[in-house]
């Protein structure tokens, strides 16, 4: 049993507008949506299919993640609130993922929950989901974003996310080296998946000297193709480089790892890079410029916001708005300098101002 003290430690502030948890009538699984805020517009956030030791832990996750989406969407200046969906698999099911009819049943159960919220929550693809899964959810509700281009959606957001990370790195270089050019800058990218691989290609094209790493050894071929140095994820994390770009899992910046870092700055796609908020102060104390992840990796949600405009999706407009992540980051860093706070505190304050009722 979870001790009550432990639950309180895990709970995010409970300032959510709605939480809907159901036992799916087809699948028997717990499916849920948390709407944190609709102050700026309908709550947008992905749905993840994930295995939890206990259903209450899935509820904690959906509450925490929906709140983070409000901050991400508000910091990006989008006319959207924050929400999140979870389809919770019982413990151990991550090794035997849902397939066939059982998967469709869970997706349709989730669609019922989304539909019951009447458009206050808009769903999208997240961890454990595929484009095909999203198409199945769209059979049960119209409140689905990011469907494939052939189905009228904006498709894979990763290229836009990579573009936004590159814009953030350029802003950092302007601060530290008085030029936005990435030519001859050393950049370590940890994680060469959908986003990291594209970021590596963009940075190579811009003339950066790259250090690349992934747990998947097959990604070494990309390093060879780009003329980059290939190393282990642990070494890349502590490499002596201008910019470190975490593009794999969250939690890489902690009280243990920060003292070992040798980069000048950090900007990457990975969500939740800090194990806890006080790590932002540790980075600042070491003189390492950390660009808040939820500002840097907003390209995907910016893409969805363009899809949701009445005039429909326009790829050039999505790219233009995503490049503006560089300007948002500059504003956050200016604010942090002016107020003597960390970039995280400045980014949180920007999001909170934008979520305030009068904003
Ligand atoms: P992905 O699953 O396509 O790629 C992740 C890569 O990281 C894989 O190549 C994997 O082998 C590698 N990896 C896993 N563990 C690792 C480790 N310990 N060390 C080094 N490499 C490791 O994911 P993605 O879509 O590229 O997303 C990357 C990160 O960016 C995730 O944290 C994701 O939540 C975040 N993000 C992605 C998007 C998007 O548009 N895809 C948007 C916002 C945030």
Q: Ligand 1: which of 211, 213, 247 to mutate, judged by most atoms within 8 Å of the beta carbon? A: 247
Q: Residues 131, 168: one domain?
A: no
The residue out of 124, 151, 178 marking a domain boundary is 151
247 CB near ligand 1 (under 6 Å): yes
Catalytically active residues, by annotation: 84
- Whether 3 has a pLDDT exceeding 70, the answer reads no
Look at 138 and 93; give whichever has higher pLDDT: 138
Q: Residues 102, 185: one domain?
A: no
Look up the domain containing 128 and give its range: 7-64+81-151
Q: Is 142 a domain residue?
A: yes
Q: Residues 90, 177: one domain?
A: no
Q: Residues 275, 351: one domain?
A: yes
The residue out of 108, 126, 151 marking a domain boundary is 151
**Cα(302)–Cα(309) distance, integer angstroms:** 11
Q: Residues 134, 115: one domain?
A: yes
Q: In this structure, what CATH number is given to the domain that contains residue 221?
A: 3.40.50.720
Give the least confident one: 38-42, 92-96, 284-288, 331-335. 92-96
DSSP SS3 for 207: coil
Q: What is the mean pLDDT of the chain?
A: 95
199-212 pLDDT, tens per residue?
999 999 999 999 99
Q: What percent of the chain has pLDDT over 90?
A: 90
Compute the distance from residue 348 Cα to the ligand 1 centre, in Å. 24
From the number of C-beta atoms within 10 Å of its C-beta (0-12, 13-18, 19+), residue 327 rates as: exposed
The residue out of 89, 122, 151 marking a domain boundary is 151
Q: Residues 35, 15: one domain?
A: yes
291 CB near ligand 1 (under 6 Å): no
Cα 320 to Cα 164, 167, 219, 236, 306: the distances in Å are 10, 11, 30, 31, 11
- Whether 96 has a pLDDT exceeding 80, the answer reads no
- Whether 307 has a pLDDT exceeding 80, the answer reads yes
* Residue 91: band (very low, low, confident or very high) from pLDDT cuts 50, 70, 90: confident
Compute the distance from residue 249 Cα to the ligand 1 centre, in Å. 6
161 CB near ligand 1 (under 6 Å): yes
List, in sequence order, every residue forming a beta bridge with 265; answer none if it has no partner. Answer: 243, 289
Q: Ligand 1: which of 46, 165, 249, 299 to mutate, judged by most atoms within 8 Å of the beta carbon? A: 249
- pLDDT at residue 86 in the model: 98
- pLDDT at residue 1 in the model: 42
- Edge to edge, what strands does the sheet with 43-51 contain? 18-23, 30-37, 81-89, 43-51, 121-125
Q: Residues 166, 287: one domain?
A: yes
Q: Residues 186, 240: one domain?
A: yes
Give the least confident one: 5-14, 121-130, 138-147. 5-14
Q: Residues 122, 210: one domain?
A: no
Compute the distance from residue 175 Cα to the ligand 1 centre, in Å. 27
Query: Structurally, how many domains does the chain consist of?
Result: 2
Q: Residues 195, 253: one domain?
A: yes
Displacement of CA 74 from its chain's centroid (Å) = 14
Compute the distance from residue 96 Cα to the ligand 1 centre, in Å. 21
Q: Residues 28, 113: one domain?
A: yes
Q: Is the pTM of this model over 0.85?
A: yes
270 CB near ligand 1 (under 6 Å): yes
Work out which ligand 1 atom sits closest to the CA atom of 158.
Answer: 40
Q: Residues 335, 222: one domain?
A: yes
Displacement of CA 226 from its chain's centroid (Å) = 26
Rounded to a whole number of angstroms, the CA Rg of the chain reads: 20
141-170 pLDDT, tens per residue?
999 999 999 988 999 999 999 999 999 999
């Amino acid at each position: 049993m979870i001790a009550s003290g432990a639950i309180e430690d895990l709970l995010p502030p409970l300032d959510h507008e709605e939480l809907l948890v159901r036992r799916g009538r087809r699948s028997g699984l717990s499916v849920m949506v948390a709407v944190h805020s609709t102050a700026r517009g309908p709550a947008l956030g992905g749905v993840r299919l994930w295995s939890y030791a206990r259903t209450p832990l899935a509820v904690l996750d959906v509450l925490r993640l929906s709140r983070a989406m409000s901050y991400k969407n508000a910091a990006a200046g989008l006319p959207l609130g924050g929400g999140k969906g979870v389809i919770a698999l019982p413990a151990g099911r991550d090794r035997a993922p849902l397939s066939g009819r059982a998967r469709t049943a869970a997706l349709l159960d989730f669609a019922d929950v989304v539909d019951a919220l009447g458009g206050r929550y808009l769903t999208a693809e997240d961890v454990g989901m595929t484009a095909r899964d999203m198409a199945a959810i769209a059979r049960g509700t119209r409140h689905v974003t990011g469907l494939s281009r052939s189905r009228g959606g904006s498709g894979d957001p990763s290229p836009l996310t990579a573009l936004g990370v590159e814009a953030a790195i350029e802003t950092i270089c302007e601060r530290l080296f008085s030029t936005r050019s990435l030519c001859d800058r050393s950049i370590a990218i940890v994680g060469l998946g959908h986003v990291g691989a594209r970021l590596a290609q963009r940075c190579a094209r811009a003339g950066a000297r790259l250090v690349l790493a992934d747990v998947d050894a097959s990604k070494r071929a990309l390093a060879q193709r780009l003329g980059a140095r290939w190393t282990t994820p642990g070494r890349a994390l502590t490499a002596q480089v201008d910019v470190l770009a975490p593009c794999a899992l969250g939690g890489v910046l902690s009280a243990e790892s920060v003292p070992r870092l040798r980069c000048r700055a950090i900007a990457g796609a990975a969500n939740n890079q800090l194990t806890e908020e006080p790590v932002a102060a540790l980075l600042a104390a070491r003189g390492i410029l950390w660009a808040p992840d939820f500002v840097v990796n907003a390209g995907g949600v910016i893409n969805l916001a363009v899809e949701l405009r009445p005039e429909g999706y326009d790829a050039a407009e999505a790219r233009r708005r995503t490049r503006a992540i560089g300007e948002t980051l500059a504003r956050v860093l200016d604010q942090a300098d002016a107020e003597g706070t960390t970039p995280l505190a400045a980014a949180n304050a920007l999001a909170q101002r934008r979520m305030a009722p009068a904003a």
